[in-house]
Structure 1
Amino acid sequence: MKRAGLVLVSTALLGVALGGAGSTAAPTPAAMDVSDARVAPAVQVPSGNKLVAKFYAKGVQTYICTAGAWKLLEPAATLADRLGRAVALHSRGPIWVSTVDGSAVEAAPVDGARNEIPGAVPELLLKSKSTRGKGVFAGVSYVQRLATKGGVAPAGGCQESDQTSVNYEALYTFSAPVR
């Protein structure tokens, strides 16, 4: 049964990668670039870590109605390199999986490490819980979600168990310990 679920999630994410699920085009790297000087202090990666990858995401934040309010269910996004080539998928966990080398990182938000962005999901700092593989995500210690656009849950009430997906874009950075 787990395999069937993985196939459904993979198919949904592939739809995002190919322009489905509300996606209209590949992320635009130039428009989403953020310099270190513009990163809010709350979401900065601690010293002793170095940037190992930076990808631009486009996808959806899916919400489910629980007790009359929208609650985040899962993200589904495709990450692209600076040339716009799809290189990774982002899904519930949260987890990021490279479509190039199969490496993956799962992370959890760092308490209090968020920067509110009007009209967009917040910028976040996440700490790695686990990694696998020998590729781009091997040894990642921190993930940042920056330069967010959209993805905010709808305003107002909802009917129990309803789901909705809201388009979003973000810049994800991946850092690893300096060795």
Structure 2
Amino acid sequence: MELIQTVEQWAWIGWLVLILVFLVIEILTLDFTFLMLSIGGLAGLGADLLGAPIWLQVIIAGVVAAILVLFLRPPLLRRLRRGEDPTLSNVAALVDLTGTVVSTVGAHGGQVKLVNGDIWTARVEIGELEPGTRVRVSRIDGATAIVRSAEPTDPPAIAAEDPRA
């Protein structure tokens, strides 16, 4: 019983340490999650200073943190990210890029030169592509571009006769 009284007497120090730890983690992650948890800890500290029992402090801190994470964090993240540059970069920018086969591309390898000037090791999932064939990047697998033919396929034959004949 004495232990519980000691914990309740010094709980404010625990809340302060928890708040500081959450704030340091938030500074490192910049995701607003730990900021909301630290504000929940602040609510728990406030409950402690008002004389609430430790179980009620924890419930108040948890409820406040949950409400903030669910309702305040999403609009804050949207507002933070609304000015981001929507331009794709790195590997994402290579998908759907066209190029030309430099050396025969098969299931085990080959090379393509993309329109941005880069020469990539490439593979096709089915078949083989000869040098000079136009290709389009389907996806990137490590340092290998998975490509498909970008040349139009023959349209299906139309059975209708020419009305001018």
Per the shorter chain, which TM-score range?
under 0.3
TM-score w.r.t. the length of structure 2 is 0.20
Structure number having the greater strand percentage: 1
Larger RCO: 1 or 2 (CA < 8 Å, sep 6+): 1
TM-score w.r.t. the length of structure 1 is 0.19
Larger Rg: 2
